[in-house]
Chains A and B, each alone.
Chain A
Amino acid sequence: MALMPKRFFRLTMRQREARDFYLCILPWLIGFILFTGGPVLYSFFISLTNWTGMSTREWVGFQNYIDLFTVDPLFKTVLANTFVYGVGSVWLGLVVAVGIAILMNQKVPGISIFRAIYYLPSVTSGIAIAIMWAWMFNPRSGLINYVLSLVGIDGPGWFSSSQWAMTGLVIVSLWGIGPNMMILLAGLQGIPQHLYDAAKIDGANAWQEFIHVTLPMLSPIILYVTVISIIGSFQIFENVLVLTNGGPGTSTRVLVFDLYQNAFVNSRMGYASAQAWILCIIIMFMTWLMFRISKRSVYYEGTEE
């Protein structure tokens, strides 16, 4: 058999790079397809069945999706609660994160210690933190109501009142703003000093600098933080499970908690899978909406307005 010329197998630099690239990402790609992509697609199949998670399943088509919007009286409440939590936690979290990031951007001695302190809560266990907050919000012996009592306010029974439980959850969500604060801080530090110098020459005060320099320059970062915060807020679960268990009544029953109840307590895996897909569609829509809105309100340096 005639030997093939050696150069037949010789790859160009570009081809070698491509081959090495694919070899390097192959383990991750296989993992993604097997452990994420596969189950995601499988969950869509499950959502079209009446599977209990245990026995054999029957094909029900889109009945689970139809039932969610036509038969299940709780689902509308669950969606409304999820949106209320999302709006409350995202905007409050964003405002506080921007405020703290600006404070952390000051050139004062020991600022790195403060930055570490503000980031620390983000690396602590979620369940432990939720339990700690339960004690903080304890209506009789908690720190929150004690502080309120010092200024003459009789604090509510936070998580035992359907009027206040959601507010309590939104306040607790502030505990996790550390990563957002760090991202915003990095964004603040990337704003060129000459823009502030120019603003000063034009006679701008601190507030005007913030409105006309800081915010526009920070807007791509704010967009990013907003999008990931919205996604996170729609997935809230552990705080609800530990602090309120969805109650009192259905006042804090949010989508992922309801999904968990249906899947693992009520043995309605098909129905819960349909809820998961609704959640996925909502998140995708919200993300798309944010990017649409951002076209008019986000300033990208180096692009034409």
Chain B
Amino acid sequence: MRKIFTLQSLLKTATIASALLFTLATGPMSHAQEPTTLTLALHWEPSFQPTQEAFDAAFMERHPEIKIEVIYNTWADHNAIVPTWAAAGELPDIVYTHGSRATPWAAGEICANLDSYIETDEDFNVEGIFPVALEQYQYEGNQYALPYDHGVILLGYNKDAFDTAGMAYPDETWTMDNFREAAVALTIPGQQWGFGGYYNGIPLAGEGAVSFLGPWGGASFNETEDALLFDSEGSRTALNFWYGLMAEGVIPNQEDVGSMGGGQIMYTGQDAMWAMASWETPAFADLAAFAWDVAPWPEGPEGRVTGAFGSGFCITSQSKNPDAAWLYLSEYLSEEGMIAMWGETGRGSPAREAAYQSWIDSELSPDNAEFYLEALAEYAVNGRPYASVTGPEIIDVINQNQTLLNTGEITVEQFITNVKEQTDPIFAREN
């Protein structure tokens, strides 16, 4: 029988076909009529993507010369993917920038300096953005990203739990002593924890640490973020306060959280109170099958203070269309943009005061949502670290030791000693 295909003829055919395909794929094409394509990297989940698409469609109608293409990462992957893109020289024009990434991405030249755009664009009202929110994205005195959301931690509470116990809801008169008394009273061993902490843990860095250490005058980092302050009197007192509550079974410990799952405890109403950031309210509105609301963060011996944090966007240093990117950002982060994207949808507390009311009035925000605005204006402080490049490394050490503190394997004093010993070399290396 005659052979139709030999190995040689197959190889030749494959080579010619590959060459043809390559020529077709890379051949010259007319770009004269093509709009500028602007690429955005976001992490919105599918349910929020239609809101983004609606905004983009309206933007492209206003600016037909610009075409928007969105890449959706998952929340878990985004912070690792963006540096990988940067290393490969493949950064999109605009990237979502979590507050914790603001400084590393500015120092790492992922984000471009926006000062010249902010200064020259008279239509962009930068003064309308909360100063505390802008501060988060400043690096060496320059603005590298702009916030869209800036949230605050307040005291969330389960109204049903308070009603069942016949106790009055928390209010602006509450001190940490009132809080403690109520948390102990509301604890029902095996059924209900008086206080769930922040995502069912005691936060010792970031915005949570401000709320948990600040009322006693404590803090995790100093102002310049080149030393830890866990060994200060205020921090030590605060740590003993919170871990004392955990030892009493008022706050779930590592084993409780490991057994139940942090979210499971919160959303099923097994926490009578918890530390509640504004960005968490949509999830509660969606999942909590009990009545809940928020109250001001209790006042401590050293005053009332709570943590603030947020997210924003930056134009990347590799953007080939920075002017178009600025045009997009200036509309996306305008008052109207924030209202449409995050205010009216209830998605998050906008970083502009003028847009904030739209979120307070939205269906997903709690009844007492105006306390968030009050906190932002009066006693919210950004969680540290946000200005140091070594922040993630220091937090890693804090977390390692905190897991032992949570299991009761080490004491507060041992935690303070361990963390100091293990972070000193890191600070020394960077300083």
Contact = CB atoms under 8 A, between A and B. Distances in A.
B26 interface: no
B260 to A, nearest CB: 8
A247 to B, nearest CB: 4
A211 interface: no
A267 B108 CA distance: 9
B422 A141 contact: no
B231 interface: no
A162 B404 contact: yes
Contact of A248 (B84, B105, B409): B409
Interface string A14-32: 0000001001000000000
B255 A139 contact: yes
Nearest to B404: A249
Given A53-B86, A53-B87, A248 B255 contact: no
Point out which of B83, B258, B407, B422 has the most chain A C-beta atoms below 10 A from its C-beta: B258
A247 B11 contact: no
Contacts of B392: 265-267
B425 interface: yes
A287 interface: no
Given A249-B401, A249-B403, A261-B396, A54 B86 contact: yes
A42 to B, nearest CB: 11
Interface stretch (A97-105, A153-161, A215-223, A231-239): A153-161
Given A54-B87, A248-B407, A265-B396, A140 B259 contact: yes
B4 interface: no
B403 A248 contact: yes
Interface string A110-128: 0000000000000000000
A267 B390 CA distance: 9
B177 interface: no
B42 to A, nearest CB: 20
Nearest to A258: B396
Contacts of A264: 79-80, 83
B235 interface: no
Contacts of B403: 247-249
Interface string A142-161: 00000000000000010111
Interface string A49-60: 000111110000
Contacts of B404: 162, 247-249
Contacts of B393: 265-266, 268
A13 interface: no
Interface string A257-271: 000010011111100
Interface string B51-90: 0000000000000000000000000000110011011000
A211 B225 CA distance: 64
Given A54-B108, A138-B258, A162-B409, A267 B401 contact: no
A141 B261 CA distance: 12
Interface residues of B, number: 36
A162 B402 CA distance: 12
B349 interface: no
Contact of A23 (B11, B86, B400): B11
Looking at chain B's contact residues, is the secondary structure mostly helix, strand, loop, or mixed?
helix
Contacts of A20: 7-8
B425 A53 contact: no
Contacts of A261: 396
Interface residues of A, number: 33
B425 A73 contact: yes
Contacts of B83: 53-54, 264, 267
Point out which of A56, A157, A261 has the most chain B C-beta atoms below 10 A from its C-beta: A157
A52 to B, nearest CB: 5
Contacts of B400: 246-247, 249-250, 253
Contacts of B251: none
Nearest to A156: B255
Interface in A60-97: 71-74
Contact of B104 (A54, A73, A160, A161): A54
Contact of A160 (B79, B84, B258): B258
A54 B109 contact: yes
B153 interface: no
B157 to A, nearest CB: 26
Interface in A238-289: 246-250, 253, 261, 264-269
A157 B108 contact: no
Interface string A197-226: 000000000000000000000000000000
A73 B422 contact: yes
Nearest to A264: B80
B169 to A, nearest CB: 31
Contacts of B406: 248
B305 interface: no
A54 B255 CA distance: 38
A72 B11 CA distance: 54
Contacts of B108: 52-55, 267
Interface in B100-115: 104-105, 107-110
B89 to A, nearest CB: 12
Contacts of B407: 157, 160-162, 248
Interface in B204-249: none
Given A157-B407, A249-B400, A55 B109 contact: yes
Nearest to B104: A267
Interface string B85-100: 0110000000000000
Contact of A159 (B258, B396, B422, B429): B258
A266 B258 contact: no
B202 interface: no
B238 to A, nearest CB: 22
B113 to A, nearest CB: 14
Closest CB pairs A-B (n = 10): A54-B108, A247-B403, A248-B403, A140-B259, A266-B393, A249-B404, A160-B258, A160-B254, A157-B255, A264-B80
14 contacts: A55-B107, A55-B108, A73-B425, A139-B258, A139-B259, A159-B258, A162-B407, A246-B400, A247-B399, A249-B401, A264-B79, A266-B390, A267-B108, A268-B393
